Structure 1
């Protein structure tokens, strides 16, 4: 065998070895175009009077308002502030009755004082002793002004002490457009905006005891008798509270909350409607508003399981898709903007189901949602015969040259 033949054979062997072992470059990766879901504009039904605000808790995009935005008299909605301020001084948990309140002559005198102003009052017999919880029931359910005043005197010693405590509490909770002069709401200078009252409603529902009391329809209180909740919408259309208000300067008012099941979760809608003519017409307008807000919830599909967000192309086989490993959806309110950003990892070979990247959905007013991407089938080594018949196709040339 001549030297030339041996040299040729060595070159052939070297070529075959090189073709068989030179590493491939990563498969070509490309991302797919994402078509976001669409939703129609919200259609919220507001009354044509006063001031109204409504928001679904946890859905800040749902906050919508109607009417003026100036502070208005809020009447007995003031008692919600009284309840929360008193509870800060005299904490009480659900299931507890709390300490007994001995009603003093000063407290008893409030009956005549508030009755003379046409305010709602409840019996307060001489030497009556009631638990803190029972007193809260009479104040919030029956809206008895003499019990609101009595609780303020019991907790703070004087009306001036209550007023200062209420101002401090409002400031601490960011209710900058709310002013409370006294605990009942009979003073028209107790004012707030509809949006501030929505925030007040959130604070009320966050307190388990207040939420329990304002959601109670009827109760029997020793020394007082049978009482009914002044909120006639309670139990209708998902309404679970919160507080009525009526005053010549304020009109008919309602701070309300209702719960609905939407998209497999409980959604609470909180609102305030001020300046109604009477409670019958106001209640009808609240029901229309609640229905319209609830109907604007919908679940959007961000991706279906197996949906393609990218592809890998290797020289030796057809495209392999990078697909969503799971479905993802989101409960939203009203029109919502959705964008998707796909990230694919460099890949030469891979097994079906292997994670190869992710897609991150950015949804307006919501936290981002990230879904892993996986190969829908394997990218396998083509084998030595393909390498020899397609010499150096798809190889990583830089590494080959270095080698």
Structure 2
């Protein structure tokens, strides 16, 4: 090795290299470090778990072999189940439910109100005689008898008096023909296009409906407080008439609280019925109709068997429990958290109604515990239930040293 001293030129060159190298390092650090620290970091993309959904067994409604029928529940758009011919069929005195609804539409009564008075005349006595001659269901009347609108409704619906149905319709609309025109308008307005009434009492077999229409008619009746109260009344006493019993012998049995019987040779024994059942935290109002039974004893047994078979078909199902995991996050800098249900949600289902779930979550860079990161949407039949998803732990942003050690172009 040469020990000759460096020339001035060599020393100057080495010093210049050292200075410029140091300056380059300083400049690089001054540019790279803040750039690396400020550059975007990759979002954590959630790994979604396949959502579990509940399943329920199919209900098997126990309809009778005779006649035809349908059953539904308030809040459900269509009948839950039906059996037999679903076409139009005579409905006998169930027709009086239409009469009550149409009259109350024209002459409304508040809950518990008696309403205006009706003074019965010789024409009403003639109506009584005509119904008696046809072996129709009647209650006594005399010229000069005064009853309130509610009392007249009670006499029509509870003992099913044909003559009082005709008198009430005539009082409200001036004539039975005017009533029938109003009834057609009312039925069309409420979507009961398969229901035809040609009289106020239902004695005429041309007053017809379908089981599905009757289920809807029953729900409309229960929504009218005056009718709902009257059809649930076991017996009543009216001035000038006396005491009479409800023709519906199922009232109070297994919670049955209405609605209307009907009996003619053409229709057989018929019943439009309702009851409330408790399912978990829910109350379900069932409404059904069976037409064409051989007699009311057989019909009543069939109605009870149907109700007892339908009730277990309703279930309160837990869709999700607060804290259930639906997705997980893991960042490149080691942070981890899960997307979990923010609340517990349940739903009332009927039979084997299908349940599906769709999870939607957002990418996360950093977020606090409890932050909203998406949702899970359950579809249960025709209804949807949305449950928010939140983080079960905080995801912190990467620190300075991770950012420096992972250049922006490598992220």
Structures share a fold, TM > 0.5?
Answer: yes
User: What secondary structure is seen at the aligned counterpart in 2 of 1:109?
Assistant: helix
1:262 maps to 2:286: no
Corresponding residue number in structure 2 for 1:25 = 42
Question: Secondary structure of 2:254's partner?
Answer: coil
Contact 1:119/1:145 (<8 A) preserved: yes
Partner of 1:370: 386
Note the alpha carbon deviations across 1:146-168, whole angstroms, 9 max, x for none.
11111122122222222222222
Alignment of 1:384 with 2:396, yes or no, is no
What's the offset of the Cα at 1:212? 1.3
Cα drift, residue 62 of structure 1 = 5.1
Q: Secondary structure at the match of 2:77?
A: strand
Aligned ranges for residues 36-51 of structure 1 at < 5 Å?
Answer: 36-51=53-68
1:112-131 aligned at under 5 Å gives the runs 112-131=129-148
> Structure 1 CA distance, aligned partners of 2:391 and 2:197?
63
Matches within 5 A, 1:1-400: 2-3=18-19, 4-12=21-29, 14-60=31-77, 63-366=80-383, 368-388=384-404, 390-392=405-407, 395=408, 397=409
CA RMSD of aligned residues (A): 1.9
Deviation digits for residues 275-322 of structure 1, max 9, x if unmatched?
Answer: 001111101110111122211001222211111111222012253111
| Contact 1:243 1:255 (C-alpha < 8 Å) held by counterparts | yes
Give the Å deviation of 1:143: 0.5
1:114 to partner: Cα distance: 1.2
Change (3 A) 1:171 1:17: closer
2:72, 2:146 → 1: CA distance? 40
Deviations 1:193-212 (A, max 9, x none): 11111111111112111111
2:6 alignment counterpart: none
Residue segments in structure 2 that go unaligned for 5+ positions in a row: 1-14
Unaligned 5+ runs, structure 1: none
- Once the two structures are overlaid, the 10-residue window that deviates more, 4-13 or 64-73, is 4-13
TM-score by length of 2: 0.91
Instruction: Say if 1:61 and 1:314 are closer, same or farther in 2 by CA, change over 3 A.
Output: farther
Deviation at 1:219, TM superposition (A): 1.7
2:131 and 2:79 map into 1 onto residues whose CA distance is 39
Alpha-carbon contact 1:62-1:334 (below 8 Å) kept: no
Q: Distance in 1 between matches of 2:37 and 2:355?
A: 47
Task: Give the conservation status (yes or no) of the 8 Å contact 2:122–2:142.
Answer: no
- Give every structure 1 segment of 4 or more consecutive aligned residues whose post-TM-superposition deviation is greater than 3 Å: 8-21, 385-388
Give the TM-score normalised by the residue count of structure 1: 0.92
Distance 2:173 2:23 in 1: 108
